[in-house]
């Protein structure tokens, strides 16, 4: 198991190195001057020269990449802007602050949104999918399948405003979405994110309902399941002990990818509900042409996705011994 995780971790490091090189190359592929974009509207020649020197744009590109990449692990000095401790993703001249500090401030919002919605759509999605598979061909199966098909066709930018109108503006049943740190006000944290959780989990619940049902139906038709039934095992034992365990592999794999994407920034969800997380930060960076911030957000999102995949590989190896023995 340890060797399996070491191989996956080394592969992840190589992937992150490639992603960092591609991201940095795209940073210089744009036709505009990165220093000019970072300088803002009121930009004097002195400030432009200072920013260009701080970004090492007066050095060869390979050396610039090395300063940027090594700075992630060792920190960097930005002169008058101050010293950036590791992990350092650079300095935003648009926001006038260290990128790492901004990422740390925004990440709890995205994390709260992701964890809360994931708990909801896993419980209801997997539960409904198992019920539909167990009642295959019966009314419960048809209702669950039809409802999941309708819900999966919804989009956040449509369901979000409708939910705000129905639950907040018209009825005042729930409060307007806002992020409050859970350490300051747990109740405010819960109520402030409840509407985004419900909307986001509605769509993902539909996807996991269909996936769970499909995987369970496939497992129930396998030879080992029929053999267990032929030996006299009860339908409940066969369903939970054999079919459910066989279907877990697919669910865990897809969930790991989805979790990494959500942690990287639920862009549409955060923009719809005005939540200041990583997704909204990426949109603001594009609007403000803050290239340094865009690179930092991209690297953090890529790292979260890669780490999530490593966790999935470990979980999958625990579920299926053949994976870690291969």
Tell me what the mean pLDDT of segment 155-165 comes to. Answer: 89
309 near 12, Cβ under 8 Å?
yes
Q: How far apart are CA 104 and CA 81, in angstroms?
A: 18
Model confidence at 326: pLDDT above 70: no
Average pLDDT, the chain: 84
* Bigger pLDDT: 243 vs 161: 161
Of the listed ranges 29-38, 101-110, 186-195, 234-243, the least confidently predicted one is 29-38
Beta bridge partners of 92: 97
What pLDDT was estimated at residue 69? 86
- Determine the pLDDT at residue 226: 80
Split at pLDDT 50, 70, 90, the class of 66 is: confident
**% residues pLDDT > 90 (the chain):** 22
**What residues contact 80, with CB distance under 8 A and at least 6 apart?**
50
Q: What is the mean pLDDT of residues 34-54?
A: 72
DSSP 8-state secondary structure symbol assigned to residue 80: G
Question: Exposure pattern of 110-125 as b/e (b: 16+ CB <10 Å)?
Answer: bebbbebbbebbbebb
- The pLDDT of 149-165, averaged and rounded, is 87
What's 169's DSSP letter? I
Could you tell me the residue ranges of all domains in the chain? 2-86, 101-319
Choice between 1 and 285, residue whose per-residue pLDDT is larger: 285
What's the CATH superfamily of 101-319?
A: MetI-like (1.10.3720.10)
Q: 109-118, 215-224, 261-270, 313-322 — which one is most confidently predicted on average?
A: 109-118
| Distance between first and last Cα of the chain | 10
CA distances from residue 91 to 19, 77, 154, 278 in whole angstroms, order as listed: 20, 10, 39, 17
Give residues with Cβ within 8 angstroms of 255, minimum separation 6: 118, 122, 208, 312
Query: Looking at the predicted structure, is the pLDDT value of residue 76 above 70?
Result: yes
Nearest-CA neighbor of 120 among 216, 200, 186, 180? 200
């Amino acid at each position: 198991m340890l060797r399996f995780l070491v191989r996956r971790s080394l592969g992840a490091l190589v992937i992150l190195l490639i992603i960092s090189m591609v991201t940095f190359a795209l940073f210089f592929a744009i036709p505009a001057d990165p220093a000019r974009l970072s300088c803002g509207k009121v930009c004097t020649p002195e400030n432009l020269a200072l920013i260009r020197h701080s970004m090492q744009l007066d050095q060869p590109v390979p050396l610039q990449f090395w300063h940027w990449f090594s700075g992630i692990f060792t920190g960097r000095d930005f002169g008058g802007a101050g010293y950036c401790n590791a992990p350092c993703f650079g300095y935003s001249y648009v926001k006038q602050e260290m990128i790492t500090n901004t990422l740390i401030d925004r990440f709890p919002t995205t994390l709260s949104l992701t964890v809360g919605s994931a708990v909801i759509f896993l419980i209801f999605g997997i539960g409904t999918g198992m019920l539909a598979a167990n009642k295959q061909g019966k009314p419960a199966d048809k209702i669950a399948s039809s409802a999941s098909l309708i819900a999966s066709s919804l989009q956040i930018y449509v369901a979000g405003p409708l939910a705000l109108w129905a639950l907040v503006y018209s009825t005042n049943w729930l409060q307007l979405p806002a992020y409050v740190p859970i350490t300051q006000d747990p109740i405010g944290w819960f109520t402030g994110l409840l509407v985004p959780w419900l909307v986001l989990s509605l769509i993902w619940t539909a996807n996991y309902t269909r996936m769970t049902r499909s995987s369970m139906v496939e497992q129930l038709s396998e030879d080992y399941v029929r053999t267990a039934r032929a030996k006299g095992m009860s339908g409940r034992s066969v369903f939970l002990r054999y079919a459910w365990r066989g279907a877990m592999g697919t669910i865990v794999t897809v969930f790991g990818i989805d979790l990494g994407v959500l942690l990287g920034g639920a862009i549409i969800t955060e923009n719809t509900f005005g939540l200041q997380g990583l997704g909204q930060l990426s949109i603001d960076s594009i609007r403000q042409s803050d290239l340094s911030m865009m690179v930092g957000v991209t690297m953090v999102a890529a790292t979260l996705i890669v780490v999530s995949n490593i966790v999935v590989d470990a979980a999958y190896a625990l579920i299926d011994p053949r994976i870690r023995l291969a």
